[in-house]
Amino acid sequence: MTIEERISKMTLDEKASYLVGKDYWKTKEYKDVELPSFMMCDGPNGLRKQEGKGDHLGINESIKTVCYPTASMLAASFDPELARELGEHLGDECQREHVSMLLGPGINMKRSPICGRNFEYYSEDPYLAGTMAVGYIRGLQSRHVAACPKHFAGNNQETQRMSGSSYIDERTLHEIYLAAFEKVVKEADPKSIMCAYNMLNGTYCSENKELLTDLLRDKWGFKGFVVTDWGASKDAVKGVEAGVDLIMPGISNDSAEYIADAVRSGKLDERLVDEACARIMRTMFWSRDGQPKDVKPSDDTTRESDYSFARKVAENSAILLKNEAHTLPLGKDEKIAFIGAFAEKPRYQGSGSSHINSAKVTGALACARAEGRNVIFAEGYDLSEDPEKDEVLLKEAAALAKKVDKVVIFAGLPNKYESEGYDRRSMAMPENQNRLIREIASVNPNTVVVLHNGSAVEMPWADDVAAVLEMMLAGDACGEAAVHLLYGDVNPSGKLAESYPMKLSDNPSYLDFGLENHDPHYGEGIFIGYRYYDKKEMDVRYPFGHGLSYTTFGYSDLAVDKVDIRDTDTITVSLQVTNTGDISGKEVVQLYVGEKNSKVARPVKELRAFRKIFLEPGETKKVQFTLGKRDFAYYEPALHDFYAETGDYFIMAGSSSRDIRLTADVHLEATEEIPVRYTINTSIGKILSTKKGREVFGPILQALTGGAAAAEEENKKENGSEAEAGKTEELDTDVLGETEEGAQYRQMLEMPLSSMVSLAGMPRSTVVDIVRKLNS
């Protein structure tokens, strides 16, 4: 039976009912039309399959399984291949557990370091988030398990997440908050997408036709089905009209009856119900048809191999933030103190719907002891922050620290600090931990800090300690991975997927984030993360893309195959990277693009490509990238599309966003202009910035302003642009010199055309005629 035949045999009530889940995790089944139910589960960093009572907050039991590093750590690997492998592991497990769809990945942008759910998201950079998610989705879906990127869109804080509205302008939305979604839809064909709880610019995402139909389906070509976030459906009929297909969870039949009644009363077109049914069924049969029939359930062997893979992800993602005087790696024969409750019981995942019931978790202390390392231990701080206990623990730890060669403090954010459902109150770590770190560093100069946290923290002690290893939330094999990295069995290669500002108030969303009685207005626009800190020339604690290695890398021979391009061209950028140290290691080569004198506000640089490469000592590899129009473009609201303007661009290759090693210049010519609707109040400068404007108004202006125009000609000559002189070309206000005529000319550029009437005595009818010609 085809999907269409099934739908034609179902009654209206059955079809409406199919659009609402059967329970917490499943769709309904209809035996008469051979329509089985299918199961979906959270994700994204493990399988949260609930066989008993369901919930979406991480409260009730789920099956025992493996917890992988969360998205914020995976992103730091800068390795989409690793994300693909993770998707495959999860896909295999879903097959074994008869799960057809995994609710992830989470690809919202980190607008603020204190969004409670940052640990579940990849980055502050849409290109990095999109690229990692494409890898993950391709891996998962290669096993015929549907991915469900979430939460679409503008869900960047937990405060008011189910009731508030994110106000985001069109350019910022497309350039920052939608770009990762666009990338995954266009490149990875996700079979589903989850719409967010919140409103976007005043309309609930679950009722937002502009978002779910006009953009997602009609413009981007999304082929899957849209599921609501759990409980995000408000008005089910408005939802179906907007493009929602499946309402989850299914607790009562109320929404189904409401939808069927709306069809009966002529309020809702039955065709929309049929289309939604068909879209859910297409994904369901795609997943059924591709899954092997005789997979065995998960067992100790599969869990062991998944656990080893979780360790591999953690080892490839941990970030060495600081390493003075080669404090790390720790020596085999050195006497080491591990200090901190997290050394015994690491914090390795976040709270909420992504919470995994781990079969086995390893702490660093137990691993180090099992591997025979020379390690002693003190608890250091009390996780419940009891001041009396802290006093005792601090003294004990300081005494121990004096007796050893080096100290490793395991610190970070306790569970309750970071969770789905609420935002962090600040970016600070618990004060008892900050105090411990300062005191230990003052008695032992070889103090190393290992951090467990899902997103950026303030590190007031960063200058006092010798080394910092950021382990983030590293999954079940957290402790083993930490020990291997600390002792140099594995060379760190992670890079920060988010900036670590000095303090929370440096972050541009600070004034408007997480307020109970105020909807967030994304006033900082496109300037989030490094886009902001770079533009403001602000110091950060650790920049986006930063991460050290136990070896060093040299960059050379940056070359671009064309330096004068049109926006329709692609260019090839290549460079050589050499391992200049004496151990093997991996480097993430990052490619940023920036525009020199843009006419719109743009970041200094934006990540447009990256590649992680492995190099033996002394080895050199050539790395090559291709850049196209979108890599030079910004989103132009007048076009409702991306636009690469004519201008000079920098191509920057580096080891982090603040460690640019090589730069090349490229000049780009736009093949089309942004259409301008001229009025009598359009400024003269704006008119002269377009070809049409120069053609129509250039000669008139020449005739009117002989003196100033001559000064402008003179300026062009003085500035070496003879070729330009004499032509009615676009005026470069930069080359207008310091002469009085030049200054007057600049002032004139700001005047509206209508001022020609009062200031130059031009008849109004002539001005109107000029406007008509400009618009013709």
| Residues designated as active site | 229
In whole angstroms, how far apart are CA 92 and each of 51, 142, 155, 297?
18, 9, 30, 10
Q: Which of 387, 369, 389, 371 is nearest to 379 (CA)?
A: 389
**Which one of 14, 42, 534, 741 is in contact with ligand BGC (CB under 6 A)?**
42
* CB closer to ligand BGC, 108 vs 453: 108
Contact call for residue 195 and ligand BGC (CB under 6 A): no
Question: What is the amino acid identity at position 743?
Answer: A
- Judged by CB under 6 A, the number of residues near ligand BGC is 8
Q: Which of 375, 346, 376, 377 is nearest to 478 (CA)?
A: 346
Contact call for residue 56 and ligand BGC (CB under 6 A): yes
Shortest separation between residue 194's beta carbon and ligand BGC, angstroms: 7
Shortest separation between residue 306's beta carbon and ligand BGC, angstroms: 21
* CB closer to ligand BGC, 55 vs 724: 55
Q: Which of 605, 447, 607, 451 is nearest to 541 (CA)?
A: 451
- The SS3 call for residue 540 is strand
Contact call for residue 150 and ligand BGC (CB under 6 A): yes
**Which one of 230, 410, 487, 635 is in contact with ligand BGC (CB under 6 A)?**
230
User: How many Å apart are CA 167 and CA 163, to the nearest integer?
Assistant: 13
Question: What is the amino acid identity at position 687?
Answer: I
Q: Which 3-state string (H, E, C) describes 509-524?
A: CHHHCCCCCCCCECCC
* CB closer to ligand BGC, 87 vs 412: 87
* CB closer to ligand BGC, 84 vs 151: 151
Q: H or E element: which one contains 588?
A: strand 585-595
Closest residue by beta carbon to ligand BGC? 56
* CB closer to ligand BGC, 151 vs 716: 151
Contact call for residue 422 and ligand BGC (CB under 6 A): no
* CB closer to ligand BGC, 229 vs 606: 229
* CB closer to ligand BGC, 177 vs 632: 177
* CB closer to ligand BGC, 229 vs 534: 229
Residue 312 gets the label, from left (phi > 0), alpha (psi -120 to 50) or beta, of alpha
Nearest 10 degrees: CA dihedral of 98, 100, 103, 104? 110
Provide the token pair at 543: 């920049």
Answer whether 358's CB lies under 8 Å from 48's CB. Answer: no
In whole angstroms, how far apart are CA 756 and each of 171, 478, 597, 676, 772?
33, 71, 29, 20, 16
Provide the token pair at 400: 């121990």
Provide the token pair at 617: 């000592």
Shortest separation between residue 239's beta carbon and ligand BGC, angstroms: 16
Shortest separation between residue 349's beta carbon and ligand BGC, angstroms: 14
**Contact characters 343-372, ligand BGC, x per CB under 6 A:** ----------x-------------------
* Secondary structure percentages of the chain, helix, strand, coil, to 5: 35, 20, 45
**Contact characters 151-190, ligand BGC, x per CB under 6 A:** x---------------------------------------
What is the number of residues in the chain?
A: 776
Q: Which of 644, 508, 519, 524 is nearest to 172 (CA)?
A: 524
**Which one of 14, 158, 229, 631 is in contact with ligand BGC (CB under 6 A)?**
229
Residues numbered 87 to 116 that lie near ligand BGC (CB under 6 A) are 103
In whole angstroms, how far apart are CA 219 and each of 212, 361, 607?
10, 45, 24
Shortest separation between residue 58's beta carbon and ligand BGC, angstroms: 8
Shortest separation between residue 122's beta carbon and ligand BGC, angstroms: 14
User: How many Å apart are CA 590 and CA 527, to the nearest integer?
Assistant: 20
Contact call for residue 418 and ligand BGC (CB under 6 A): no
Question: What is the amino acid identity at position 473?
Answer: L
Shortest separation between residue 544's beta carbon and ligand BGC, angstroms: 25
Count of H-run helices and E-run strands, the chain = 25, 28
Residues numbered 471 to 510 that lie near ligand BGC (CB under 6 A) are none
* CB closer to ligand BGC, 88 vs 229: 229
Q: Which residues bind ligand BGC (CB under 6 A)?
A: 42, 56, 103, 150-151, 229-230, 353
